[in-house]
Amino acid sequence: VSSPFFPPNSSWDAAYERELQTFQDIGDTGEIWFGEESMVRIIRWLEKHKVPLDSSVLDIGTGNGVLLVELAKSGYMNLTGIDYSPSAIQLSEKVRDKEGMSNIKLKVEDFLTPSAELSGFDICIDKGTFDAISLDPSDAAGKRQLYVASLGRVLKPEGFFLITSCNWTKEELLNEFREGFEILEELPTPKFCFGGRIGNSVTALVFQRK
């Protein structure tokens, strides 16, 4: 499977190194996966459901950290971002420091083998990381199982998981996360029309851990 959104895994670090250099040169944070409307959708859902501002939030595969900055601007105080790419974490640290958001915690972590201190989160957010894992040419199915197991470890019972995907339909995601999670709602995403049929180019779902 190939996707216009994601480079092969081997080039993630190189991509973030380029964005890091660009940020240092001109202050541009680089690509926002899925565009700004996806961040607005997430923040709107949290606000609509009156999720407390001191809830612990984990951004899985934080990239440039822009989502965490927007959450901080919306008043959320307990924010953590992880990425397995050291260049991504360097970039997100620079973005965080430029915005003066010192309360955002950032760390290099592989979500498939999370460290012990990565646990007890009220909310986990994924914009494209599950997609990227799904495109891994070496044992993608096994990596997806590891992902679901990791999510069960880091997210509190009854915690919320917000996932945005451009590779998976709602039905496929329901199947992937059937062990230990239940769907709360599907969030509205832009529609596209192809061959007379209306479809979604992006799927955004909210799950709750059982």
Residue 76 backbone dihedrals phi, psi, to 5 degrees: -75, 135
Residue 10 lies in a domain: no
pLDDT of residue 137: 83
DSSP 8-state secondary structure symbol assigned to residue 58: E
Residue 29 lies in a domain: no
Residue 28 lies in a domain: no
Domain that holds residue 179: 34-209
Q: Which pLDDT band holds residue 202 (cuts at 50, 70, 90)?
A: confident
Check which CATH number belongs to the domain holding 81 and give it: 3.40.50.150
Residue 81 has pLDDT above 90, yes or no: yes
Quote the percentage of the chain above a pLDDT of 90: 65
CB crowding 17-30: b at 16 or more within 10 Å, else e: bebbeebeeeeebb
DSSP β-ladder status, 78-83 and 56-60: parallel
How many domains would you assign to the chain? 1
pLDDT of residue 14: 64
Residue 162 lies in a domain: yes
Q: Which pLDDT band holds residue 200 (cuts at 50, 70, 90)?
A: low
Q: Note the pTM of the prediction, 2 decimals.
A: 0.83
Residue 123 lies in a domain: yes
Residue 13 lies in a domain: no
Residue 55 lies in a domain: yes
pLDDT of residue 16: 56
Q: Which pLDDT band holds residue 6 (cuts at 50, 70, 90)?
A: very low
